Amino acid sequence: MKISIPPTNDDGSISFRAGMTIDADGANGHDGSGRAAYGPSGTNPLDYLANAGHAGNWWGIATDADGEPYIQKDYDLAPGYYISTTSYQHSGKEKRDPNRYLDSAVDRFIVVPSHWRTEISGVVLGCAAKVYDPKTGRTCDAIVGDFGPTTHLGEASMAVAAALGFNSNPKSGTAGCDRQLVYTIYPGIPGFGYELKPMNS
């Protein structure tokens, strides 16, 4: 069952409570680690390849016209790894450029159900967001940077998890799963340093 959109707050924002799973998508080595979210056999990727899809149906990595994954070159950030993608994409950069996408390890973004993009009034992708942990009082400013399954709520980048003091490892992190965090998104208001990405962009 698709997750319904929560009521809109008086200021136009939308808030919801959820745990947190770690979204490694877009991690392409911008943190200097030389590693990316996904990679072929012989690499040491940050996350399990199954989370990016499979041959013939890749949804988390960039592919060529034949559906074959691009592999980062020697001059890229994580040579030998696949190029992981996010829904948010920087304008003017090629599909096989790791800099086209947000990087989970350094960019603070959250993930919302994909149908919210069309069902919420106001542009969602690139809009400002924040995550608040009632237990510690910590708040992390972020953006909506990726879309996920229509049935899942409560997912954020490695950088958001780290900022809130959680284990940010995509394979072993249990960030926020032991308690409910408060997520707020601000449709139509771009996150600082980012652009709103309408449906046709």
pLDDT of residue 178: 67
pLDDT of residue 1: 84
Question: Is there a contact between 37 and 52 (Cβ–Cβ < 8 Å)?
Answer: yes
Question: Is there a contact between 113 and 23 (Cβ–Cβ < 8 Å)?
Answer: no
Give the residue carrying structure tokens 């920087």: 90
**Mean pLDDT in order along the chain per 10 residues (201 residues):** 93 95 95 97 95 94 96 97 98 96 98 96 97 95 96 94 92 68 97 92 62
Which helix (H) or strand (E) element contains residue 133?
none
Question: Is there a contact between 155 and 7 (Cβ–Cβ < 8 Å)?
Answer: no
pLDDT of residue 77: 96
> What CA–CA distance (Å, rounded) separates 39 from 3?
31
CATH architecture of 14-24+105-190: Beta Barrel (2.40)
pLDDT of residue 177: 59
Start-end of CATH 2.40.40.10 domains in the chain? 14-24+105-190
Output Rg (C-alpha) for the chain, integer angstroms. 16
Characterize the bridge pairing of strands 109-113 and 139-148: parallel
Which residue type, as a one-letter code, is found at position 18? A
